[in-house]
Amino acid sequence: MSEQERVVLEHEQDVNTAYLANLERRSAGYQIDDRVHWRPRITMGPLIGRVRMRYDGDAADEEFYVAETAADLDGTEVISWAAPAAAAYYGKRFGAESGLRIRRRFAKGAGHAIEAYADEWVVPADGPAFSTPVAPASERVATEPAVSDHTAPESPSPAVAVQDALPDVVPGTEQELRKPRTSLRALLRTLQPEQYDLVAASPTKPLTIQGYAGTGKTVVATHRAAWLTHTDREQPLRNVALIGPTTTWGRHIRPVIDELATPGTVTITSLPEVMRTIIGAPERNASSDDFIDAYSAPLGTTLAKLVTKQRKADPGLTPQRAYEVFLRTNEVSIPVSRRTEFLQWRRTLPLSYEAALGDRKLWPLLTYLSVLLEPQATYDHVIIDEAQDLRPLEWLILAHLNSGTWTLVGDVHQRRTSHATRGWKEIRKLLGLPTGEEESLLGGYRTTRAIIDFAGCLLTGTKGHRAYDVLGEGEPPLILNAMQLDRELVELAIAEAARLSAAHPKGKVAVITPQVRPVGSYAKRHGWSEGEDHYWSGPDGRRFTLLTSEEARGLEFDAVVVVEPSDFKAMPGDNGPLYTALTRANLELVIVHERVLPPAIVRHLRKTAKR
Ligand SMILES: Nc1ncnc2c1ncn2[C@@H]1O[C@H](COP(=O)(O)OP(=O)(O)OP(=O)(O)O)[C@@H](O)[C@H]1O
């Protein structure tokens, strides 16, 4: 590090110390009067970055720092990540024409310290990066826009290597991704420009976002919920729903909301939970066989027409009574080609509304009757993660719960059932949104290229390629045929999980399979015990999570064992559940099987063997 770089780093460390002291002071709170002591909600954390820019029409440049919490340090301005001006630091569209001169990113050290900084000139360097401290004259002028990294020269920052290879990736991202997987955390330090632009997209326009596995869709969904409700933004929203696939997903993402969002403004929930709350169904419930018309838009039309007609005769119509009428009505809007099957299915339904509540598969039907008949509390904005899995009737329900706009995030390649909507166009139509193109997320943040390419063989009409894979090539999946190895399938799966758990002592390992029961009972017989959230612990402190693909949606692990791929539910040309399972692995994937592998995998293995 040059003398000048040392001076700059020390200066920034001093500013950071002053900033932290400011936060500390403010978090102690203020005595409003004799009885009331007000404590603002302050999250401690070091400065994130710094910006110099010239706004249109201004005679001089402006400089400010960016951090999680805003502060005024005697004239040195620190703005919040959610403030409009933070777009200059984070946003993709900020080029030279925007007036932006330079961005400085801080690398976090131990505790809340800053240990290094890296400058990114957006225009040809025009003198010292920032007005304080002033560089010696010899170091002031460079001619090309450049990224200069001011860490010690003997340890060149890998962040810069990433920046060189992957032009749009924020320095430090790869190191972040190589850390053991935990619950999702706030990622303000490495939020990517393409992600920020979607996080901070206009709240008044509906947003649909398509991204392959691991492109940061959940990161965008969660950070957007926090941004929309943030009080450092003009007109923050007060009541945003963040809806995902499962309650385990809810626990996975909660730390982001707890850290970043204004308390009490974001409701984290799952669609089953939304429905259960509306209809007051029991938590424990059985589930009948899947039936496509139980979730279809024509069923929705049938119910809506029935409610309109019955209400004329019976203004006090209840969902209970409407359900009974539904069981008898001849006026069904089901296409002729499906009508016989539909009527047969209807004959199997419980005769009482109370009995129907006990069947999870009937919740969409009952919930839709409720939202048609009873006023519901609505949200200012609804964000849906894993939107590809919702079925038409579920979209019709949600449309009644949102008085504002939408952020819809998903991957149509991970569709788990043919009952779900076929694509973004159909979703937009069901919600009455204007037609338009969805936004795309392109960078790959979870999963190495070797694993994502392997999983991509299941996708038709696309290779599933992301624009870049921050984790690089990695190891190809290990495929183990239990029969050839003369082992039992389940025993081999658990042995692999135990091996991977030892290899990732601080990380997370999952076994994903449709055969959860036999794997679980084998584990129990061999000294493993089951805890909460599908979590198993066993001999020598080894651990794994045992899940179906459906339960694994939106989650991630350092290493994954996928057991018996050909048992995963597949639709013609659509291998969503298996694709989801394979792409939960960040670094290592093992496939254990005894039956023939699915044809797409066999073809892929043949092709790669020839190379
Ligand atoms: N900007 C970022 N900085 C650091 N880590 C990131 C960033 N973006 C994404 N990641 C990490 O990449 C992983 C995948 O992100 P995320 O879960 O949001 O992807 P996804 O598109 O929702 O994936 P899937 O659809 O497969 O569930 C997570 O571990 C997340 O923390």
pLDDT digits (tens, 9 = 90+) for 287-333: 777 888 899 999 999 999 999 999 999 999 999 999 999 999 999 99
Tell me the ipTM for this assembly: 0.99
User: Taking CB atoms and a 6 Å cutoff, what residues make up the pocket around ligand 1?
Assistant: 173, 176-177, 184, 187, 190-192, 195, 211, 213-219, 411, 445-446, 554, 556, 583
Are 520 and 404 part of one and the same domain?
A: no
362-388 pLDDT tens trace: 999 999 999 999 999 999 999 999 999
pLDDT score at 274: 96
Q: Which domain holds residue 436?
A: 190-283+375-441
Task: Provide the domain count of the chain.
Answer: 3
In angstroms, what is the span from residue 583 Cα to ligand 1's centroid?
12
In sequence order, the 6+-apart residues with CB closer than 8 A to the CB of 232 are 70, 79, 80, 82, 83
Q: Which atom of ligand 1 is nearest to the CA of 195?
A: 1
**H or E stretch at 147:** strand 147-149
Average pLDDT, the chain: 89
How would residue 145 be classed by pLDDT, with cut points 50, 70 and 90?
A: very low
Q: What is the mean pLDDT of residues 563-568?
A: 95
Euclidean distance between CA atoms 495 and 484, whole angstroms: 16
Longest dimension (CA), the chain: 88
Q: Is residue 343 part of a domain?
A: no
Are 504 and 397 part of one and the same domain?
A: no
| Domain-terminating residue out of 415, 441, 467 | 441
Are 428 and 529 part of one and the same domain?
A: no
pLDDT over 70 (residue 151)? no
Q: Is residue 549 part of a domain?
A: yes
Of the residues 185, 195, 218, 560, which should be mutated to test ligand 1's pocket, given the most ligand atoms within 8 Å of the CB?
Answer: 218
A 10 A CB-CB count for 506 gives 9
Roughly what angle, to the nearest 10 degrees, separates helices 271-279 and 363-373? 60
pLDDT over 60 (residue 147)? no
> What Rg, from alpha-carbon coordinates, does the chain have?
27
Are 417 and 528 part of one and the same domain?
A: no
Supply the DSSP symbol for 170: P
pLDDT score at 419: 67
A 10 A CB-CB count for 521 gives 11
CATH number at residue 415: 3.40.50.300
Q: Is residue 53 part of a domain?
A: yes
215 is in an annotated binding site: yes
452-475 pLDDT tens trace: 999 988 887 665 568 889 999 999
In angstroms, what is the span from residue 329 Cα to ligand 1's centroid?
48
Closest residue by CA, ligand 1 atom 6: 445
204 close to 403: Cβ distance less than 8 angstroms? no
43 is in an annotated binding site: no
Q: What is the mean pLDDT of residues 203-218?
A: 94
Q: Say if residue 254 is exposed, middle or buried (CB neighbours under 10 Å; 0-12, 13-18, 19+).
A: middle
66-95 pLDDT tens trace: 999 999 998 899 999 999 999 999 998 777
pLDDT score at 189: 95
In angstroms, what is the span from residue 444 Cα to ligand 1's centroid?
8
Are 32 and 112 part of one and the same domain?
A: yes
| Domain-terminating residue out of 75, 98, 121 | 121
In angstroms, what is the span from residue 184 Cα to ligand 1's centroid?
8
pLDDT over 90 (residue 141)? no
Between strands 557-563 and 543-547, the pairing is unpaired
Strands of the sheet with 71-73, listed across from one edge: 71-73, 76-80, 62-67, 49-53, 100-108, 114-121, 147-149
Are 90 and 225 part of one and the same domain?
A: no
Supply the DSSP symbol for 182: -
pLDDT score at 417: 65
pLDDT over 80 (residue 117)? yes
pLDDT over 90 (residue 483)? yes
pLDDT over 90 (residue 132)? no
**H or E stretch at 560:** strand 557-563
How would residue 140 be classed by pLDDT, with cut points 50, 70 and 90?
A: very low
| Domain-terminating residue out of 73, 93, 121 | 121
Are 390 and 468 part of one and the same domain?
A: no
